[in-house]
Structure 1
Amino acid sequence: MSVYILGIESSCDDTSAAVFRDETILSNKIANQEVHKEYGGVVPELASRAHQQNIIPVVDKALKEAGVKVADINAVAFTRGPGLMGSLLVGTSFAKGFALANNIPLLDVNHLHAHVLAHFIKEPDQESNHPDFPFLCLLVSGGNSQIVLVKDYMHMEVVGQTIDDAAGEAFDKCAKVMGLPYPGGPWIDKLAKEGNPEAFSFAKPNIKAYDYSFSGLKTSFLYFLRDQVKVNPDFIEENKNDLCASLQSTIVDILLNKLVKAASDLKISQIALAGGVSANSGLRNGLEMLAKKKKWETFIPKFAYTTDNAAMVAITGYYKFLAKEFVTHDTTPFSRVVF
């Protein structure tokens, strides 16, 4: 008998709901929040208020598109954290109310676990291609940069992570310095395609083991621009494509060099990408080139499953449902990284 899972994602500024039948996606609806663009970043208070406005319409659309009635849902899965506390509270509260009203189980989902398990989403009438256990997943987003050893659906170990800033944050902060719109990562990716990745060089940190650091790169980039603008006030505008290409190349090199070391030491050739930054074309291309050289089998999610979405929450909820890992209604969200 099939299991129907409703997934709720509200960790940052995207309100999303998805409906799954077992491992197969039936719908995945997302409401974005345009209000943050004028502030150059997500404003937590505005985000939580927008979630309150969006969550009921988004869930309604997800159920209708899936052709599923509320009475058909076997359990509701929600993002418990990490994320913005106000945003998480909206999703958590809705999920609790939905579960209580319909007398169904509640499943809490770690946002980072969900990004990893997005690789196991099946689409109707399509063949599924996913990594075999164990595999390494390079999880890169606005808030996190990690190398994760994935042993099975529920058992994962972080073998390397950023000790300060995340790769996505480095993209966005450097983009802001150049006067690019928010979010800056996609803009850098777009302009980098027209630039020379070897035009400029920036600091690459020397961090032990498989950990990352991007604070030094941001400082190096900022000081470089400051010095160049003193000489030529139009330097950024005249060199924007090359700056973006060089910055992107540096970040990709930092990410992949650690991944190569981890894969070699752990003797793993199944490699996956996950998280919002996995949509970056430079990172995707770099991984594909490495795969040919290292004889890796690589897995890159569809763009729809790279950013925050409820599909990844629902698929994680499905595996937790099978394992009967339910939570009670006194469960509270968490804002900091817990893996």
Structure 2
Amino acid sequence: MAVQNIYILGIESSCDDTAAAVLHNGKILSNVIATQEVHKKYGGVVPELASRAHQQNIVPVIHEALSRAGIKKEDLSAIAFTRGPGLMGSLLVGTSFAKSLSLGLKIPLLEVNHMQAHILAHFIEEEEYNKPEFPFLALTISGGHTQIVKVNDYFKMEVIGETLDDAVGEAFDKSAKILGLPYPGGPLVDKYAQTGNPKAFPFPKPKVDGLNFSFSGLKTSILYFVQKQLKENPKFIEENIEDICASIQHTIIGILMDKLKKAVKQTGIRQIAIGGGVSANSGIRRTLKEAEAKHQWKTFIPKFEYTTDNAAMIAIAGHYKYLSEDFANMGITARARYKF
């Protein structure tokens, strides 16, 4: 198949961001995201409101992506979309639109697993960015997922460790909620942690066999700790917010790094790539870079715009599916739970 002029439109609608991107031969021409502010007052994403907002945003977002790319919809080679995992209502909006556009333009449809796309974001053509070589280990960390994945090829991936309960993003957001911080709280924990003492308040690390994770026990211990301290000093959070956040972040990063070290030891693979919204966390990025020198790893950290949910990663996954002619049919449906 000729590869000189492949234009892929990527559509992402798995949660509360409506996104569209245009990719030309592996290079991003546009990457547009419409965020939904409506959820902040509810302290989390409201599925019904999210799907309604996707319906309002999807046409203008795709129009803007094509406009910024400087192409017409007739120039597109294929449509890539997020099939899952995610919120069912949100996924249905993107899936239905992608199918309609594919049918109308008579071009192939490419279904993408959202979590695989976070990993494949490392293969977007960028200047001064080295791509990982197969096989490598991927740590995918987001609000809904925490996984260690052995990546043997673009679509040959094996989950070798995952969370048994809460995802790491939930651990950050729920800890922030305990501290009275607004949603989404994860970035605020990171912000306060910058100036705090990470060893001020030691929190227990859960004992979990193998390469799996657990964060629910940590969340509970943080809750009980804060409640106890507030009884003794009602201003405890206010007076110690930086140290509390630094200690929480230090513990969470410690849990992630312990499992990564174990995965490297078990597999012998020293190439580590991170992906997912939580990979934007400055503490995790810094610790991974330090580990590169300390443990002789080769680490790959994506650009910030490719960490949170975005359509560029959907487009690059679609690009590789297009090259292998792995097309979807019109009977395809969204999947809220979608393993790979």
TM-score for the superposition, normalised by structure 1: 0.98
Count of residues in Structure 1 that have an aligned counterpart in Structure 2:
337
1:252 matched to which residue of 2? 253
Matched, 1:49 2:40: no
* CA–CA separation in structure 1 for the residues paired with 2:111 and 2:180: 39
Listed as ranges, the matches of 1:1-339 within 5 Å are 1-123=4-126, 126-339=127-340
Amino acid aligned to 2:153: D
Identify the range of structure 1 (84-93 vs 288-297) with the bigger mean alpha-carbon deviation.
288-297
* CA–CA separation in structure 2 for the residues paired with 1:14 and 1:310: 10
Structure 2 segments unaligned to the other structure (5+ residues): none
Deviation (angstroms), 1:68: 1.1
* CA–CA separation in structure 2 for the residues paired with 1:221 and 1:263: 30
Secondary structure of the structure 2 residue equivalent to 1:250: helix
After superposing on structure 2, the runs of 4+ consecutive aligned residues of structure 1 that deviate more than 6 Å are: none
* CA–CA separation in structure 2 for the residues paired with 1:33 and 1:131: 33
Amino acid aligned to 1:88: L
Secondary structure of the structure 2 residue equivalent to 1:15: strand
Identify the range of structure 1 (289-298 vs 8-17) with the bigger mean alpha-carbon deviation.
289-298
* CA–CA separation in structure 2 for the residues paired with 1:324 and 1:337: 21
* CA–CA separation in structure 2 for the residues paired with 1:7 and 1:46: 23
Secondary structure of the structure 2 residue equivalent to 1:223: helix
Deviation (angstroms), 1:128: 3.8
Secondary structure of the structure 2 residue equivalent to 1:332: coil
* CA–CA separation in structure 1 for the residues paired with 2:235 and 2:332: 53
* CA–CA separation in structure 2 for the residues paired with 1:338 and 1:72: 32
* CA–CA separation in structure 1 for the residues paired with 2:34 and 2:246: 31
Secondary structure of the structure 1 residue equivalent to 2:199: coil
Deviations 1:131-166 (A, max 9, x none): 000000111000000001000111100000001100
* CA–CA separation in structure 1 for the residues paired with 2:329 and 2:273: 33
Alignment check: 8 A CA contact 2:113 2:338 kept: no
Deviation (angstroms), 1:329: 1.1
Deviation (angstroms), 1:336: 1.6
* CA–CA separation in structure 2 for the residues paired with 1:88 and 1:228: 42
* CA–CA separation in structure 2 for the residues paired with 1:334 and 1:84: 9
Instruction: Call closer, same or farther: CA 1:337–1:170 in 2, change over 3 Å.
Output: farther
Deviations 1:16-35 (A, max 9, x none): 00000121111000000000
* CA–CA separation in structure 2 for the residues paired with 1:107 and 1:21: 15
* CA–CA separation in structure 1 for the residues paired with 2:223 and 2:204: 11
Deviation (angstroms), 1:13: 0.3
Amino acid aligned to 1:170: A
Deviations 1:7-48 (A, max 9, x none): 000000000000001211110000000000111100000000
* CA–CA separation in structure 2 for the residues paired with 1:268 and 1:330: 39
* CA–CA separation in structure 2 for the residues paired with 1:128 and 1:320: 22
**Percent identity of equivalent pairs:** 63
* CA–CA separation in structure 2 for the residues paired with 1:269 and 1:208: 21
* CA–CA separation in structure 1 for the residues paired with 2:30 and 2:130: 19
Deviation (angstroms), 1:70: 0.7
Deviation (angstroms), 1:127: 3.8
Deviation (angstroms), 1:186: 0.4
Structure 1 segments unaligned to the other structure (5+ residues): none
Secondary structure of the structure 2 residue equivalent to 1:107: strand
Amino acid aligned to 1:27: S
Deviation (angstroms), 1:337: 4.1
Secondary structure of the structure 1 residue equivalent to 2:83: strand
